Structure 1
C-alpha cells in the first residue's frame, strides 16, 4: 500500500477545505438566524404596516413607524437571545437598539420613499401596486440590511476581554 493510500490519509487533504467551509458557515449563522427572526418580524411589522396603510387608511409615515415599532420590539427580544446570543445587559442593549432601529428606519424608509417618488416622476406606472406599497417593500429590504449590521456591530457586540 502506498503512503498516500494509508487509512485516514485522505482526510488530511480535505481538512483545510473543511476548516474553510466551517469558518464560512459559522460566520453566516448569525445572519441566517437574523433572517429567520426577520421572517417573523416581517409577518408582524409589515403585516401591520400594510393593514394600517391599506385597511385603516393611515398615512405612509404613521403606518410604517407603527408597524416598525411593533416589529422592532419583537426583534430586540429574539435577536438578543436567539440571533446574537448576547449577554449585553438589557438596558444597555435596549438604548443602543432603539438608536439603531430609528437610524435604520429613517434612512431606509426615507430613501425608499424618495426612490419611488422618482419612479412616479419618471412616468413609470405600476398598475399592480401603489407606489407607497412599493416604498414599504423596498424600505423593508434596506432596513433589514442596515439594521443587521447596526445590531451586530454596535448593539449586541460583546467585549472580547479574556483573561486566558
Structure 2
C-alpha cells in the first residue's frame, strides 16, 4: 500500500497505474512469502506461478474496479469534489477487497494442499 500511496500522492501517478504498480510490487513479495511460509507449499514454481498471476490479475480487476465505483458513489453522496480524497478512499477500499479475495484464491487455488501433493 505504501507504494500505491507514494505513487498516487507524492508522484501524482493516476489511480490505475498507482494501484497496478503497487500490487505488482506486493505480489512479487507475496508469492514467495505465501508459498513458503503462509501456505507451506512445496510444489515447484511451474505448478503455481501461472495460477498465482491469474488470481492476482483477477483480484486486482475485481477489487479496484469495485472500489473505484463504491468510492465514487460514496464521495458523490457526500458532495466531496476532491480527487485526492476520492483516489485515497478508492485505494483503501480496493485493498480490503483485494486482500480478502486474494487470500481465498491463494489458499484454495494456487497453494492448495492438492497442488502441493502433485509435486513433480
Work out whether residues 75 and 81 of structure 2, in 8 Å CA contact, stay in contact via their aligned partners in 1.
Answer: no
Alignment pair present for 1:122 and 2:61: no
| Equivalent residue, structure 2, for 1:88 | 43
Counterpart check, 1:107 vs 2:49: no
Q: Which residue of 1 aligns with 2:95?
A: 140
Q: Distance in 1 between matches of 2:44 and 2:94?
A: 30
The structure whose Rg is larger is 1
Cα-Cα RMSD = 1.8
1:71 counterpart (13, 22, 26):
26
Q: When the two structures are aligned, how many residues end up with a matched partner?
A: 115
Q: TM-score, normalised by structure 1?
A: 0.66
Distance 1:126 1:92 in 2: 47
Q: 1:149 aligns with which of 92, 104, 109?
A: 104
Q: Is the 8 A contact 1:87 1:158 kept in 2?
A: no
Give, in angstroms, the shift of residue 126 of structure 1: 8.8
Q: Which TM-score applies when normalising by structure 2?
A: 0.89
Partners in 2 of 1:50 and 1:132 — Cα distance? 9
| SS of corresponding position for 2:41 | coil
Tell me, which stretches of 5 or more residues in structure 2 are unaligned? Answer: none
